[in-house]
Amino acid sequence: MSHTAHIRSHRKPRPRSASTLALRAGVAGGVLSTLAVAGSAGPANAEPVTETIEMPALTFDTPELASAVALSAEATQQAALDLNLQTQENAAAAKAAKAAKKAKDEADRKAEAVKKAEEAARAEAQERSSRSSERTTLSASGSSQGVSNATGSAATVIAFLKAQLGDAYVMGATGPNSWDCSSLVQAAFRQVGIDLPRVSQDQSLAGTPVSLDNIQVGDILYWGGAGSAYHTGVYIGDGQYLDAANPSKGVVIQDLSGYPASGAVRVL
């Protein structure tokens, strides 16, 4: 007999958790039950099984498992937050790009509008300059010819009138780029030193009345009664006259056959 057989161990027994003990008991019970069934099913003279099988102890450290689960949940939550943040950043970037494109398109549109306006202004300035030069030439030509030469004066009047073709009709306007009917007639005859009345009614009484069958280039035509005319123009030959017609036509050449005059007067 060993001298240490009855000496109690001073090693502190390892605590077992309830789950560990229950698991070991369940496993051991299941093994013993299986052995018992196997023994009863064997021959009657079979020897009883006396071997004991020691099952390994399975332990679960509950605090570590909880910590691992918590870490996994935190990682999942962080991934979700990162994905949401990335989605928001992408949306913000797309919105900023769309706003930038809209601003650029608007800037391009305004720049194009400014460019067209400048081009139109330059074209108008060139046209005015050309007309002013032509009118100056006509005025000098009329002054040199004098009013005594009727043929030359008529040519000067007609040349001035044709230089205004395309100008606008504006009631009450007196040039240089817009006229009404009587202001255009008045300005044309002023080129040869003849000062006509301003309005159509008075122009229809100026000079000498002539028959429409005997009109000549440079005669003043009127529509309405003498002294109550509502429109005037100038005969330019070949059955045509030139006038500041109306707001839709402006200064144009028209056929007498389409709009016959009521009468005519001669001042040249």
Find, among 223, 172, 213, 202, the residue nearest to 267 by Cα.
202
Query: Max CA-CA distance within the chain?
Result: 171
Distance CA 29, CA 31 (A): 5
Grouping H, G, I as helix, E, B as strand and the rest as coil, residue 111 is: helix
Q: Which residues of 58-86 are buried (b: 16+ CB within 10 A; e: fewer)?
A: eeeeeeeeeeeeeeeeeeeeeeeeeeeee
| Six-digit token string for 77 | 């939550």
Asked if 148 and 268 touch (Cβ cutoff 8 Å), the reply is: no
**Residue 231 pairs with which residues in a beta bridge?**
223
Residue-level pLDDT, tens digit, the chain, 268 residues: 445 445 455 555 555 554 444 445 444 455 444 444 444 444 545 555 555 556 555 454 577 777 777 788 888 888 888 888 888 888 888 888 888 888 888 888 888 888 888 787 777 667 666 655 555 454 444 433 333 334 589 999 999 999 999 999 999 999 999 999 999 999 999 999 999 999 999 999 999 999 999 999 999 999 999 999 999 999 999 999 999 999 999 999 999 999 999 999 999 9
Which residues belong to CATH 3.90.1720.10 in the chain?
Answer: 130-266
Q: What is the pLDDT of residue 190?
A: 96
| Model pLDDT, residue 51 | 57
- Whether domain 130-266 has CATH 3.90.1720.10: the reply is yes
Q: How many CA atoms lie within 13 A of 91 on its CB side?
A: 6
What residues have CB less than 8 Å from 240, skipping those under 6 apart?
253, 254, 255, 256
What local confidence, expressed as pLDDT, does residue 56 receive? 57
Other CB atoms within 10 Å distance of the CB of residue 212: 14
Q: DSSP assignment, residue 174?
A: B
Q: Which residue has the tokens 């099984």?
A: 49
pLDDT at 72: 83
